[in-house]
């Protein structure tokens, strides 16, 4: 399994803004197939090869390609997890439990316990 992680925000305990993290786990044997699909999706959307796909979804709020992407990832045994929290309304205990649950989820996907 190869893991790709992208985050946005400031995750310090003193922070009082929204923080997000996304994790995509791709089985190694599916890596080329996923990359080819992403390239074809970018071509259809009109993005350059180096453009980030997330910028399209964030900008246009058009989920027509998003459903297709998620379905393709699911069919190819990929694991996608996204989490957002607002630090102002969360305790240190809840934050620690959230981190632990996310870590456990990643470990399970790496051992294929989800399939």
Is residue 81 scored above 60 in pLDDT? yes
Alpha carbon 77 to its chain centroid, in Å, reads 14
Question: What are the pLDDT digits (tens) for 41-51?
Answer: 888 888 888 88
Neighbouring C-beta atoms of residue 8, cutoff 10 Å: 13
Cβ 1 vs Cβ 25: under 8 Å: yes
Confidence band (pLDDT; 50, 70, 90) for 115? very low
pLDDT at 16 over 50: yes
Taking the model in full, what pTM does it have?
0.66
Residue 109: Cβ within 10 Å count? 21
Please give the order of strands across the beta sheet that includes 79-86.
Answer: 2-8, 18-26, 79-86
Query: What pLDDT score was predicted for residue 31?
Result: 95
Residue 15's pLDDT is 60
């Amino acid at each position: 399994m190869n893991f790709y992680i992208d985050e946005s925000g400031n995750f310090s305990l003193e922070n009082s803004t929204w923080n997000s993290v996304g994790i995509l786990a791709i089985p190694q044997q599916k890596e080329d197939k996923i990359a080819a699909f992403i390239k074809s999706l970018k071509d259809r959307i009109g993005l350059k090869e180096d453009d980030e796909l997330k910028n399209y979804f964030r900008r246009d709020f058009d989920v027509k390609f998003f459903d297709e992407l998620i379905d393709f990832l699911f069919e190819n045994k990929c694991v996608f997890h996204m989490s957002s929290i607002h630090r102002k309304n969360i305790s240190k205990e809840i934050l620690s439990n959230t981190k632990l649950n996310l870590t456990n989820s990643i470990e399970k996907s790496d051992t294929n316990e989800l399939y």
